[in-house]
A and B are shown apart, each in its own frame.
Chain A
């Protein structure tokens, strides 16, 4: 990878760590251990179901909040506080800055998710005393969750390339929520007619398809994930991230810094 992109990514990661972003892990650890102890006491059959469901949902929500929070925060801070002045007047291209930020944020989320994954598996071990073959699918679910984070981070960068932090956060959260219901939107598009059909189809393409990336429930029931879905989701996420980042770069290249 390009050296400068790497340096910017590393500095972004360092900033996130020093801004105590990883402290969210404490809250997550408390939540997981509380849930595990509680579930272990009351239920007989459904411990695994509850722990996987709750654990993965928590991983996903914590991560989404962090992705939006730091994705927008760490970029808009550079613009607002004008730290960008001394970066972009060096032999650094604007696309290198955006790309470096993306990788730094992605790295932060990855480390965060890894720690959380350890927590989920620890809780799983606590309630069912041993791992089963089906637990491997939890890893696939986690992989899909990371793909979601990448998409959201790219969107956060796209929004903060032209909008205020608050508006960017609102856009990003709205897209996340709508994206979780994208399956329904696709269903609606299939049934609708005329202008409605067009609108719904267009929206279904623009809005990130988080339904397909969410396999938490089926994994919690021990159902496998098809290899085809893994492949499709990977390609889908890569294309989505690439397009969102390209948009961010295109806007940012033309932007006057304040």
Chain B
């Protein structure tokens, strides 16, 4: 197992168009933002194709971001309770005061 790991790391470190998991990891955000230069992008994509761990990591990383986007806020129609009266009045009085 250790030997296999070592071989993988040698290939990843010294093979043409190769990079290590650690270096590929540092590219993730730029890759997702579409901001990786063409060559780095090819290197990154090749690593993801060859490395099962990083492939899974990238998929799950993207999924975690999407879950945050989908679930963080209530949907507008779910947040239907009314504002406290006092707060509405305060907001409107500020507006009236500042814009006579």
A in complex with B: no
Residues of A within 8 A of B (CB): none
Residues of B within 8 A of A (CB): none
